Amino acid sequence: MKLWHYALIVFLGGCCYGILSTFVKLAYATGFTVNAVTGGQYFFGTVLAWLVVLFTKKQKLTGKQTVKLMLSGIPSGLTGIFYFQSLQTLDASLAIIFLFQFVWIGTLFEWVLQKKRPAPIKLISIAILLIGSVLAANILFQERTALSWQGTLWGMLAALTFAAFIFLSGSVEKETPPMLKSALLATGAAITVFIVFPPTFLFDVTVLTDLIPYGLLLGVFGVVLPPLLFSIGMPHVGSGLGTILTASELPVAVMMSSLVLAEQVSWPQWLGVAIILGGIASSNLRRANAKQS
């Protein structure tokens, strides 16, 4: 495949995460607790991932490789936990701004760990994305925004672990079949979540039955597809550009809240969406032109 194919795959992985917030809100509105929603997402997602693995070509892994991949899934589980904690003391618009800092943190990881210094155009793209995120989250036009140091800390930890997950998904065990890799990453994430949020819903038949539709949907778009798509595309585009492409999460979240939840989205938010998409497109086009020259 060409470079832009891999870039599109990573972009779609980010879009999957953007779908989640809408259906999490719907699940909460139905009466499910955060323990049930978070645990259900990772439980059903992990089960689905392993079911798909059963019908794919097998490849034997050593114990060391298996453990390494499961450990690489821990940041994914931690991201959900930290982000929920930030929402306890921050408005949703502020929490997502802190989470969005993964864009520059991912580039920093690539610079420090892989010695790939970011080009000036990449830094400009990151600045554009951050400006767009502030507009898309509608933080400037709210009458009151409450900022707490606890929420700020949890939000930045979520950004750090999300950037770590993106980096690891593209750099650890690159030769492992993507679906098997996705299943092992999901397993590591699920174990992490279950340690913090014990899966008590598994022992309540009524809750478990009602949770299935939400768990399956959140599992597919939050646990199965993103690691799979990142495993395919990230090794080819690099974690630096990969984090920029994954910024597609926020525009999709805004569009889904408008289309599905019928929430009013102001013109500055749509402007922010356009700026983010423009920043992603410009960064990718510059990379493609650099490859051709």
Give the model's confidence band at 145: pLDDT under 50 very low, under 70 low, under 90 confident, else very high: low
pLDDT digits (tens, 9 = 90+) for 151-196: 889 989 999 999 999 888 878 888 888 899 999 999 999 999 999 9
Evaluate if residue 95 carries a pLDDT over 80: no
How much is the pLDDT for 5?
86
* Mean pLDDT estimate for the chain: 85
Is the pLDDT reported for residue 292 higher than 60?
Answer: no
pLDDT in tens, 226-272: 888 988 888 888 777 788 888 888 888 888 888 887 878 788 888 88
Would you state the pLDDT for residue 92?
67
Rounded distance between C-alpha atoms, residue 94 and residue 239, angstroms? 25
For the segment 285-292, the average pLDDT, to the nearest whole number, is 55
Most confident range (mean pLDDT) of 186-190, 278-282, 284-288 is 186-190
Give yes or no for residue 287 having a pLDDT over 70.
Answer: no
Residue 291 has pLDDT above 60, yes or no: no
The residue among 178, 168, 164, 184 whose CA lies nearest residue 64 is: 184
- Between 293 and 42, the more confident residue is 42
Q: Is residue 82 pLDDT above 70, yes or no?
A: yes
pLDDT digits (tens, 9 = 90+) for 211-239: 999 999 999 998 999 888 988 888 888 77
pTM above 0.75, yes or no: yes
| Cβ atoms of residues 57 and 177 within 8 Å | yes
Q: Does residue 76 or residue 293 have the better pLDDT?
A: 76
Residue 196, judged by CB atoms within 10 A of its CB (0-12, 13-18, 19+), counts as: middle
d(CA 131, CA 129): 5
Query: Predicted confidence band at 288 (pLDDT cuts at 50, 70, 90)?
Result: low
pLDDT class for 293, splitting at 50, 70, 90? very low
